[in-house]
Amino acid sequence: MRLQLPEFAAVMTAFLYGSYQGLFPKDKTKILDGDESDVRKAEGTKLYTKVVIYYAHWCGHCRNTADELIKNQNVFYNPKTFYDEENLPRVVAFDCVRDDEANEFCGKQGVNNYPTVFTYLKGERYGNPGPLVDYIRMMLEKTP
């Protein structure tokens, strides 16, 4: 059986999507590579500051950022401050281009370039910080 181009593309898409892990795989980092509901929880946080990293998996700057955060997570990871009252990570990553819904969601969030980092606390959103590793460490030290 010979696959035509559309069938081949569909098979490859299904294969790649099924193995997709994002830039923050669970076996390498405590940063949650989350979904829309995880971002919504971060937006609604009342007690703990949350950091959301919006990225595109094909973006070179995003890959470098992810690699830097994973490599240096010992700078900001402390089990006493990394999790919120629901035991969820206070740092969430979200791939804006994994599908059409994610892309639309990020557009509504005001994300227009990658990576974009927002901090959420008490319904307020704060924009892109400076060096990310140090910024995350500083935000997590401010508990709550």
Domain 33-141 has CATH 2.60.40.10: no
In this prediction, residue 139 carries a pLDDT of 79
pLDDT mean over 11-24: 62
What's the pTM value of the predicted model, to 2 decimals? 0.80
Q: Of all residues in the chain, what percent carry a pLDDT higher than 70?
A: 83
Continuous H helices in the chain: 5-18, 36-43, 60-71, 73-76, 100-109, 132-141
pLDDT mean over 7-26: 63
In this prediction, residue 123 carries a pLDDT of 80
Give per-residue pLDDT as tens, 101-121. 999 999 999 998 999 999 998
Whether the per-residue pLDDT at 5 is higher than 80: the answer is: no
Are 65 and 115 in contact by the 8 Å Cβ rule? The answer is yes
Domain extents for the chain? Answer: 33-141
Give per-residue pLDDT as tens, 48-58. 899 999 999 99
Cβ-based neighbour number of residue 87 at 10 Å = 7
Whether the per-residue pLDDT at 62 is higher than 90: the answer is: yes
